[in-house]
Amino acid sequence: MNLDFLIKEALKEDIGRSGDVTSECLLKKGKKEFFVLIANENAVISGIDLFKGVFKCLNKKIVLKTKFKNGDIVKKGTKVISLHGDALSILMGERTAINFISHLSGIATETRKIVDLIKSSDTKLLDTRKTTPLFRTLEKKAVFHGGGINHRMTLSDMVLIKDNHISSSGSVKNAVLKAKNKYKGKLKIEVEVENLSQLKEAIEACPDVIMFDNWDVNKLKSVLKLVPKKIKTEISGQINPKNIRKYANVGADYISTSYMIKNSKWVDFSLEVSM
């Protein structure tokens, strides 16, 4: 993702063809002000670079300062970023900048909540490719800032064999062996299994990772013992904060979910004049 292009397009969307007509008629041209970004609730910060980028795009002379970095936890009422410069430029970029940091901090905050739920286990939290189109890099960074681990970014990063691929290949074993023959160790191979028969085939074919998709948590406790330690294990399907602890306690290496992106709530920030 080209952040400069994204910022410019977002500003174009918000400013429109005639500029900030409200600020332009009420503010004296060239007037400088101090502003501060305030967190109105507890949060994990993500998107500081984008927030700064919006104002630098509008006016390179705007000075932004912060003692925080992406991934830091802030409490309600915290002054996160200070700004000083042309007031018209700052007000013109206010909504776009806050939209970015609110959205991404929401994902980071939700991710941290889920990570904390399973921190007593050895299971790690993975994200998925269920992201907002064109925002994948940003949203996955937000997951990382919240303490999660990024799974594949694109279809070209690794082989992930799912139900439709298995149907086309005839069996789990055939699919894994075809992938091994094609890439000869250059890419990791993961395969999804839905039942015990498929699991046995997967173990025989020996991929890098076996994904248990939509398995009952009680069933997982027994079948995970069948998987050799050299094969990593991943649990996926309908994972949420209410059941993730139970799944984490069965002993898989990873749990993957899109919950923290699909169900995150924007963090409330406000930009205020600092006297």
Choose the catalytic residue: 61, 69, 119, 130.
Answer: 130
Q: State how far Cα 201 lies from the chain centre.
A: 33
Cβ 117 vs Cβ 245: under 8 Å: yes
DSSP state letter for 29: T
Look at the chain and count its residues.
275
Q: Contact, 241 vs 257, CB < 8 A?
A: no
Q: Would you call 200 a catalytic residue per the annotation?
A: no
Q: How far apart are CA 69 and CA 203, in angstroms?
A: 43
Q: How many CB atoms lie within 10 A of CB 128?
A: 18
The structure tokens 């399907």 sit at: 237
Residues designated as active site: 130
